[in-house]
Amino acid sequence: MYRCWSETNMPATYCVNIVLLACYGGLVESKVVDARQSPRKFPDGFLFGAATAAYQIEGAWNKDGKSESIWDKTCHMVPSPIADGSSGDIANDSYHLYKRDVEMMRELGLDFYRFSIAWTRIFPTAYADKINEAGVAYYNNLIDELLKYNIQPMITIYHWDLPQNIQDLGGWTNPNIIDWYTDYARVLFELFGDRVKYWITVNEPREICRQGYGKGSLAPLYTMSGFGDYICGKNLLLAHAKAYHIYDKEYRPKQNGTIFISISAARYEPNSDSEEDIKAAEDANMFDWGMYAHPIFFESGDYPQIVKDRIAQKSAEQGYPRSRLPEFTPEEIDYLRGTSDLFGLNHYSTHLTYRNESVIGYYKVPSYDDDLSIISYASPDWLTGSHPRIKTTPWGFYNLLRKISESYNNVPIFITENGYATYEGLEDDDRVYHFKEYLGAVLDAINDGSDIRGYTPWSLMDNFEWLQGYTQRFGLYEVDYSSPERTRTPRKSAFLYKEILRTKSLDKDYEPKLTSMTIDEGH
């Protein structure tokens, strides 16, 4: 049933038609779209951008008054926990090279640029007692450079680089972070909100909490799954909601912007059409992203019932006097509900899911994985690049988009990340294929009723991929880390993206070529 997607040599249009019948058909009711129609137009007003994050590109980790973040700390550990022993100390040096970055955006013809602000560049002590003017000047320069060329800035307030000072006090597990984070957010609205109309409160609660405080696969590398991940999640959602309310009441009336959260969501599909597997996949979707999305977007708010029930039941069986999931009070449920203008969606992967006896004793107790108790895997048949967990499965993306629309009253969705990792090299045909297929899935979902407002490839250029260092290349532009100028060169996928933006349509037969990149008139 899923195999057709592995036939990557098959002409895409042919495969799409089979899959619409074979894959989409069974799981989500949908019209069969004539995917042979090419090119296919994007709706009027649909926005195209590209994304980065401060720690991954800026470098200048200790320049001009910037203080230490958890990623500075992690990358300077001996021995290094980073795959290639690298760090973001210099990275792409965007702190100095931002004008070249904006030039690349003009070459592509972007409508907006999504980037993040380094908390430690704005507040040297982590707290609001003192503002670092050099840090403010850097972001003012970048914002003004973007606006000069009519590229809308979209700011991620928090993209993982927590001040180390705050980590020393427990980071996201300390409820005081709700005030510390919102002091910081307020200063950003105050400083930049006259020109910035798109605000993302937090990037990827799942990664921050589950990987940072549960599995230890991202900074601060805590392995407290079953406790740390849940406590982090609660504080993070409340911090997000408080920033939303501050913006909504105090800044929106004069600044008139949009504010939302970006949630990373994988798609869990049943391994077979058995009831057990369908239930396992549904539970996995609720644990993976429903845990963060329901309190904000679901009609009655709160965590998904299945998440509350499973964790409470496991906790009781394990002898804990109360659920390890700290629940929300009725006041908090009300405070959180409806606090996002858009559903910011980051999506990378699909997994097949089952739950049978083989799951018993498989995971550490207690833990998130044990609370959920499913086994998931990616089919080895699916196309993969250099990142083992990122495969090309556009049908999973389609199903996820439809599921979000159906679960949350057709909430407007803004895709704030989607991408594919390759090895070095400019001939990134896999990424070209990936973008064509995933944008095709976006068009299919729109055709079937989803309200999707924009798309953001991860990433504008290669960058420091956290614990993977520079071994994973996600960029439309390749960065030469051995050159002092950190030379940026467009890959084939950059030429594809430029063509999509020029025509506001997707032509699956368009084959991009490596030629010289130029800035078109009007950019």
Q: Which residues contact 387 (CB under 8 A, 6 or more apart)?
A: 420, 421, 468, 472
Amino acid identity at 371: D
Is 446 near ligand NAG (CB under 6 A)?
A: no
| DSSP state for residue 173 in the 8-state scheme | G
Cis? peptide before 366, omega within 30° of 0:
yes
Amino acid identity at 191: L
Is 330 near ligand NAG (CB under 6 A)?
A: no
> How many angstroms separate the CA atoms of 343 and 357, rounded?
36
Q: Does 331 participate in catalysis according to the annotation?
A: no
Of the residues 125, 356, 410, 518, which one makes contact with ligand NAG according to CB under 6 A: 356
- Contact range with ligand NAG by CB under 6 A, out of 92-100, 203-211, 230-238, 318-326: 92-100
> How many angstroms separate the CA atoms of 425 and 448, rounded?
37
CB of 56 to ligand NAG, least distance (A): 15
Is 318 near ligand NAG (CB under 6 A)?
A: no
CB of 430 to ligand NAG, least distance (A): 28
Tell which positions 96-115 bind ligand NAG, by CB under 6 A.
Answer: 96-97
The two three-digit tokens of residue 363, written as one number? 């995971």
Nearer to ligand NAG, 97 or 496 (CB): 97
Nearer to ligand NAG, 97 or 265 (CB): 97
Of the residues 56, 182, 271, 339, which one makes contact with ligand NAG according to CB under 6 A: 271
Is 154 near ligand NAG (CB under 6 A)?
A: no
Is 47 near ligand NAG (CB under 6 A)?
A: no
Q: Which residues contact 120 (CB under 8 A, 6 or more apart)?
A: 66, 67, 68, 69, 72, 126, 161, 163
Q: Catalytic residue, from 58, 107, 145, 417: name it.
A: 417
Is 321 near ligand NAG (CB under 6 A)?
A: no
Is 380 near ligand NAG (CB under 6 A)?
A: no
Is 405 near ligand NAG (CB under 6 A)?
A: no
Nearer to ligand NAG, 72 or 93 (CB): 93
Amino acid identity at 205: P
CB of 369 to ligand NAG, least distance (A): 16
Is 145 near ligand NAG (CB under 6 A)?
A: no
Cα three-residue angle 519-111-155, rounded to 5 degrees: 120
Amino acid identity at 345: L
Nearer to ligand NAG, 217 or 258 (CB): 258
Q: What are phi and psi of 425, to 5 degrees?
A: 125, 150
Amino acid identity at 489: T
> How many angstroms separate the CA atoms of 179 and 182, rounded?
5
Is 274 near ligand NAG (CB under 6 A)?
A: no
Q: How far apart are the first and last CA of the chain?
A: 45
Q: Does 417 participate in catalysis according to the annotation?
A: yes
Is 357 near ligand NAG (CB under 6 A)?
A: yes
Q: Catalytic residue, from 58, 68, 204, 465: name it.
A: 204
CB of 42 to ligand NAG, least distance (A): 19
Count of residues near ligand NAG by CB under 6 A:
12
Is-contact 20 33, C-beta < 8 A?
yes
Is 517 near ligand NAG (CB under 6 A)?
A: no
Is 278 near ligand NAG (CB under 6 A)?
A: no
Q: How many CA atoms lie within 13 A of 521 on its CB side?
A: 0
User: How many Cβ atoms are within 10 Å of 235's Cβ, its own excluded?
Assistant: 21
Query: In the complex, which residues of this chain contact ligand NAG (CB under 6 A)?
Result: 90, 93, 96-97, 256, 271, 354, 356-358, 484, 486
Catalytic residues: 204, 417
